Structure formats: structure tokens, C-alpha cells
Amino acid sequence: MSNVIELKDVWRIYNEGAEEPVYALQGVSISIRHGEYSAIVGTSGSGKSTLMNIIGCLDRPTRGTYMLDGIDIENRSDDELATIRNKTVGFVFQQFNLLGSMSALKNVMLPLVYAGIPGKERKIRAELALKEVGLENRMHHRPNELSGGQQQRVAIARAIVNKPSILLADEPTGALDSTTASEIMDLFGRLVKEGMTVILVTHDPETASRANRIIKVRDGKILEDIAMGTVS
Amino acid sequence: MNIVELLSVAWQGILSNRLRSALTVLGILIGIASVITLIGIGEGAKQEAEKQVQSLGVNLIYIRPGQVSSMGISMGQGNAPTLTYDDAVAIRENCPAVKEVAAQYSQSFQVQYGEKNTMTQVNATEPNYPDIRNFYADRGRFFTKRELDDAARVCIIGDTVANDLIGEGNPVGKQLLIRGELFDVIGVMEKKGMTQGMDMDDQIFIPLSTGYATLFGLNQVTGKTVRNILAQSKDGEDWQAQFQITNLLRLRHNIQNPEEDDFMVRTQVDIMQTAQSITGVFSLLLGATAGISLLVGGIGIMNIMLVSVTERTREIGVRKALGAKHNQILAQFVIEAVLISMTGGILGILLGVSGSHFISNIAEWPTVVTPISIILSVCVSLAIGLFFGIYPAKKAAMLDPIVALRSE
Ligand SMILES: Nc1ncnc2c1ncn2[C@@H]1O[C@H](COP(=O)(O)OP(=O)(O)OP(=O)(O)O)[C@@H](O)[C@H]1O
Ligand SMILES: [Mg+2]
């Protein structure tokens, strides 16, 4: 299978040129094949979210190249990256990033708004996505009326609603109890079986062990990259 | 994303902070309402001035003593006894473009009827005065040529004088005393109201000859002086008439240098232009005042939009992260600003129109709301929204998604 994601010697330096530059990524190279299920692990501040942002086209490398589907990100305009974030990549943020002024349903519909999908279909698809994460009876609540775990599931529903080919999830089970976490992991497993490329960041070894590849990060570098055989 | 979609996103943005949006709308509302009202007042003043000038008469030419500077601004118009009855006769006989001439001499006198008395303007003139001024007797009649020739002691009184002195009952046939001299009332003038700052109804008309014989006396040097001469040009010949009269009077008064003219000849068009230039300045001042309040309203929009963009940085980040393009964010905020300014504009028009009516009714000041000022207001509020919304919207659209997501 071909590489969907290919990073070569990627650096991400925050505040470059300032007094205290932060070397969040220091020469990271990874290749991820289509349909692969990977877990990124590492200590806090090791650069996991930074790496996810770059893979998710939210951010650009300071140095190095990132090829997505064989095309160099550097040559893409901001608007083209916006389209990629909308159609190709689903992102579950570590801080959820839900809009407080809108209901869960409206939040999940948001990517479909920018995808130009008509209102009726938008609603049906958003409801379906919320059902997948077990939130069908909380659709009309605003995020501040939901528990942390429920908010996390809204964020997951929003990430998968536009049927992306790549799902990036930054600590998707961090706020969930073990039962719900296990349900979400089952969902991810199903998505991988359907052909989605899934990358998740986690602290939890149990969660990481569900993936078929574990990438260990420390101080902005890849420490270990272990293949684990088939998807569990 | 189509326009309906963008409108609904922008509308949600407005609703998400209702009080602030409402206050911003209020800024524009007040601006537009004052534009409509103040322009309405200015326009009303202009039309009123035109109406008054029209009501002076038809093809009227005013000849009065005094001087005109080279720039057309009257320097000293006065009661210098430079115009005589003979000038009036000469104009009638020698100016082909002139149709009618009526000389006038007026002065205030004590007028008495029975127990009552009042101070009023006595206007001694000639029988063609009503035709020239388009101002007629509506009860009884004006005096005749014959009564002028005979210096008859007849008078026609204004409506105010009739009410003040005689009250109920028909004044025609009554007798009153002007400075102790007895006059027969043969008519009452129609009601005319204020013209050029003068109450047309508060005067009494008598034949010019009677005035000289009984009230004014003759000037030792020049003979029968007059206060002014009214002339009426033939249709469309007002400039010719003005020219002929001016030349004739220079000749009669031995004036070589036009700057030394001891009289002024002004056509109705001149008077109209003066009135228009005055009301024009008035309108401009009102318009400028209103414009400033609009500018303040516009700055209010910009201010609020900037605050809103800063406050909603994270929302912008989320939208961008989920696939919103540069122009979609730009449109969202520009449309938000335009919606606010247009709402303010439309409410402002409603308030301005009703405010104008209110002022018309309460202050009895004529106001005219023209369709132009309404169309202009709509365009201006649209432009304000665009102009003051575009900068904050640009700021929003250019945010880096990663930076925006990290803001709190
Ligand atoms: N915008 C930024 N400006 C400056 N430094 C940053 C910025 N974002 C991240 N960093 C720094 O880069 C490093 C990596 O941060 P990152 O968020 O990628 O860590 P992480 O592995 O996701 O940590 P955690 O497990 O706590 O989420 C950290 O030292 C962090 O302080
Ligand atoms: Mg992180």
C-alpha cells in the first residue's frame, strides 16, 4: 500500500528568531500507509500535538517536507489546506474546541457547512455521527450543558461526520471512563476496517495497544517506531 | 456556501451578543435618523423660501434705494430718498420690457377705530399693486385709478388689522382714523401670512396721492420720494427689464460709475438665488452635523467588530480548522457588519421620517423627506457597513488557525 503521510526531517520551531525558540519537533521522519492504525505516545510536552497539527494541515513545518497523498504541502495555498482539513482529515482536538454558542448538533454540522452540503442532508449526517458516539439523546444541548466525556464524543462525531480518509485524534479517550473509552476504541477499530487511516495520541498503554503501530516521541524526536501486526 | 448560508452564520454571530449588537445598531440608527430629519428640515426651509419668493408675485422686479457692491452683496440698502415718483413714471413710459409699475411709500401710523387703536404699516401705492404682487382684496375692492387721481380717502385693510380693530362684522363701509385722518374702508385684503419676514396681513393700503396729501408730506429737495418701486416685466423679459430700468435710472440720476448706483434693481430670480444660497448653507450645515453622527456610528461598528473578532478568535480558529476558507471568514464578518448597519439604517429611516413629521406638526416647521435622502441613507448605511467592517473582517480572515485555536 502507498504512503498517505510522509514526513521527511520535519522541524517545527516556535518563536524562531526570538530569544527563546522552542524546538517542538526536531527532524521527524515518518511514513504512514493508507489504512494504518497508529498510536503516538510520549511524555507531556514531547511534541505530540505539534506533530498532529502538522499532519492535520493546521500548521506547516518550519523545515523539512510533508507529503500528503504524494503532494508537498509547501506548494499548497492556505485555502487548499482548508479544503484538505474539511474533506480529507478529521481532527479530534485535545481541548475539544467546540463552539459554545451552538448545540452539539450544530457543532457537528459545521464541517458540512463548509463542505457545501445542503441543510437537510447535513442534519441527517450529523445525527448519524452523533448516534455513532452514543449521543443521540444529547444533540440539542450546548457544550456547557454536557459532561467532559460527552463533549469529547461530540468532538469525535464532528471529526468523522464528513467521512475523512484520515482521522487524527489527540487524546480522544482522555476524559472518558473505561467503558465509554472502550466503545470509542471499538468505533475507531470499525473505521479502520472501513479503510480509514487513524492516528491517535494517547497516554494510556491499554488504548495504545489497540493500534497496530506505536510511535514513541520524546523531545521532538521519534524514539521508537514499533509495528504490532494486525489490528485488534 | 451560498449567500443564505453566509447570512445565517452572520446572523447567528449578531444574535450571540444581542445587547452589543443592539447598541451598535443604535449608533447607526441615530446617525441615519438625524440625516433624514436634518436634511428634511433643510429641504423644507428651501422649499418654503422658494414658495415665499413665488408668492411675491409674477415676473416681479424690486427697485429700491441703496447700493449694491460689485460682488452682488447688498451693502447699504436703505431708505435714502433717492427714488422718486417721477422715476416710477419714467420707467412706465420708457422701458418696453416693463408691463406694470407701482410705486410704494410706506410708514407706520397709529390707526384708530372706535375705542380700539393699533400701530400698523400704511402702504401708499397705485391701483395695479394687486396684480403685480398677486395679492388681492377678497372682501370689497382695491382702490381705482380714479380714486388715485382724486386722492380719495379710502383704504383697504389687511386681515390682521380687520380682526384687531373691527373684529366681528364686515369692515367694508366702516370708517377709521389714520393719524387722526378719516378714511373709508372699501376692502379687506386676502390672508397671505408671512412673506420675506413681513406680516402681509398687518398693513393698510391707501392711494399714493392720498398719502402724499394727508400723511407723508413732500420732500423739500426731490419732491415725491418713494420707498420702493415694484415693476412687473413682460413674460420672459425680466433680464431685459432689469437692464432697461438700471440704465434709465443711471441716466436720470446722472450716474456714470455703476459702483455708485444709488438704487438696486432685483428680479425675482435674484431674490430666489439669495434665498437658495442661504438655505443651501443651512442645509449643508445640517447635513454635515448629521454626517458626523454617522461617522461616529460607523466608528462604533468598527470598534465593536474589532472587539468581536478578538473575542471570537477561538471560534474563527475552529471554523478555519474545520475547513472555512479565507473569503468565507471575511464574508461572515463583513456581512455581520453590513447587517448591523443596514438594520440601523432602515430603523433610522423609519425614525427619521416619523421624526420629520413630528417636527412639522409640533414646531410647525415644514420638513420635506425626499426619496433621494432615503435612497441615499440606504446606500450610506450599506457603505458604512462595508467600509468599517472590512478591516476587522480582514483581520479575522488572516488569523493563523493554530494561533487562533490557542487563544482564550
Ligand atoms: N504555540 C506555541 N508557542 C510556543 N511553544 C509551544 C507552542 N505550542 C507548543 N509549544 C511547546 O512545544 C512543545 C511541544 O508541545 P506539544 O503541545 O506538541 O506537546 P504534547 O506532546 O502534545 O504535550 P501534552 O501531552 O501535554 O499534550 C512544548 O514544550 C510546548 O510548550
Ligand atoms: Mg498535546
Question: Domain limits of chain A?
Answer: 35-58+76-227
Query: What is the C-alpha separation between B81 and B64, in angstroms, rounded?
Result: 10
Interaxial angle between packed helices A78-87 and B326-363, expressed in degrees from 0 to 180 and rounded to the nearest 10: 100
In the predicted model, what is the mean pLDDT of residues A193-220? Answer: 93
Nearest residue on chain A to B9, alpha-carbon basis: A113
Q: Which CATH architecture has domain A35-58+76-227?
A: 3-Layer(aba) Sandwich (3.40)
CB–CB of B8/B331 below 8 Å? no
Provide, rounded to the nearest whole percent, the portion of chain A with pLDDT above 70.
98
Q: Does the distance separating the beta carbons of A158 and B322 come in below 8 Å?
A: yes
Q: Does the distance separating the beta carbons of B315 and A114 come in below 8 Å?
A: no
Burial class (CB in 10 A: 0-12, 13-18, 19+), B80: middle
Among the partner-chain residues B314, B324, B402, the one whose CB lies closest to the CB of A114 is B324
User: If residue A37 lies in a helix (H) or strand (E), which one and from where to where?
Assistant: strand A37-42
**What is the distance in angstroms between the Cα of A192 and the nearest Cα belonging to chain B?**
21
Give yes or no for A110 touching B (CB within 8 A).
Answer: yes
* B335 torsion bin: left (phi>0), alpha (psi -120 to 50), beta (else): alpha
In the predicted model, what is the mean pLDDT of residues A221-227? Answer: 92
Centre of ligand 2 to C-alpha A169, Å, is 10
Q: Does the distance separating the beta carbons of B317 and A82 come in below 8 Å?
A: no
Residues of B in contact with A53 (CB under 8 A): 402
The pTM score is 0.74
pLDDT interval class at A17 (50, 70, 90): confident
In the predicted model, what is the mean pLDDT of residues A121-148? Answer: 94
Could you say which ligand is closest to the alpha carbon of residue A203? 1
Among the partner-chain residues B12, B317, B323, the one whose CB lies closest to the CB of A86 is B323
Q: Does the distance separating the beta carbons of B323 and A101 come in below 8 Å?
A: no
pLDDT of residue A229: 65
Residues of B in contact with A111 (CB under 8 A): 322-323
**Collapsing DSSP states into helix, strand and coil, what is residue B321?**
helix
Q: Residue B106 corresponds to which cell in the numbers above?
A: 410706506
Q: Does the distance separating the beta carbons of A79 and B317 come in below 8 Å?
A: no
Residues of B in contact with A98 (CB under 8 A): 318
How many alpha carbons lie under 13 Å from residue A152 in its C-beta half-sphere? 17
Query: CB within 6 Å of ligand 1 — which residues?
Result: A 14-15, 22, 24, 42, 44-50, 94; B 406
A contact test, residue of B3, B6, B322, B400 with most A CBs within 10 A: B322
Q: Which atom of ligand 1 is nearest to the CA of A203?
A: 25
Nearest residue on chain A to B14, alpha-carbon basis: A101
pLDDT of residue B129: 93
Q: Residue B56 corresponds to which cell in the numbers above?
A: 411675491
Q: Kindly list the distances between the CA atom of residue B308 and the CA atoms of B24, B164, B314, B341, in Å, as whole numbers in the listed order.
A: 12, 67, 11, 15
pLDDT interval class at A28 (50, 70, 90): very high
Residues of chain B with a CB closer than 8 angstroms to some CB in chain A? 1, 5, 9, 12, 16, 314-315, 317-328, 401-402, 405
Among the partner-chain residues B5, B315, B402, the one whose CB lies closest to the CB of A113 is B5
Nearest CA to ligand 1 atom 22: A49
Residues of B in contact with A102 (CB under 8 A): 12
Query: pLDDT per position in chain B (408 positions), as tens?
Result: 778 888 888 888 888 888 989 999 998 999 899 888 888 888 888 888 877 777 777 788 989 887 544 444 444 445 457 888 889 999 999 999 999 999 999 889 999 998 888 999 999 999 999 988 888 999 999 999 999 999 999 999 999 999 988 888 889 999 999 999 999 999 999 988 877 667 889 999 999 999 988 888 776 666 788 888 999 998 888 889 999 999 999 999 888 888 888 888 988 888 888 877 888 888 888 888 888 888 888 888 888 889 988 989 999 999 999 999 999 999 999 999 999 999 999 999 999 999 999 988 888 778 888 888 899 889 989 999 999 999 999 999 999 999 999 887
Query: What is the C-alpha separation between B123 and B208, in angstroms, rounded?
Result: 8
**In chain B, domain spans:** 3-52+274-406, 81-261
pLDDT interval class at A231 (50, 70, 90): very low
**What is the distance in angstroms between the Cα of B23 and the nearest Cα belonging to chain A?**
20
**What is the distance in angstroms between the Cα of B297 and the nearest Cα belonging to chain A?**
27
pLDDT of residue A221: 96
Q: Does the distance separating the beta carbons of A83 and B401 come in below 8 Å?
A: no
Q: Does the distance separating the beta carbons of B402 and A82 come in below 8 Å?
A: no
Interval A75-118: pLDDT, tens: 999 999 999 999 999 999 998 999 998 999 999 999 999 999 99
pLDDT of residue B69: 43
Nearest CA to ligand 1 atom 31: A45
Q: Does the distance separating the beta carbons of A99 and B401 come in below 8 Å?
A: no
Which residue among A50, A92, A201 has the greatest number of ligand 1 atoms within 8 angstroms of its CB, and so is best to mutate?
A50
Contacts for A79 with CB less than 8 Å, ≥ 6 apart: B325, B326, B327
**Collapsing DSSP states into helix, strand and coil, what is residue B266?**
strand
The pLDDT of residue A232 is above 70:
no
pLDDT of residue B220: 61
Nearest CA to ligand 1 atom 25: A44
Q: Does the distance separating the beta carbons of A86 and B320 come in below 8 Å?
A: no
Q: Does the distance separating the beta carbons of A115 and B323 come in below 8 Å?
A: yes
**What is the distance in angstroms between the Cα of A102 and the nearest Cα belonging to chain B?**
9
- State the ipTM, two decimals: 0.94
Could you say which ligand is closest to the alpha carbon of residue A40? 1
Neighbouring C-beta atoms of residue A166, cutoff 10 Å: 23
Q: Residue B139 corresponds to which cell in the numbers above?
A: 372682501
CA angle B262/B268/B274 to nearest 5° reads 80
Give yes or no for A83 touching B (CB within 8 A).
Answer: yes
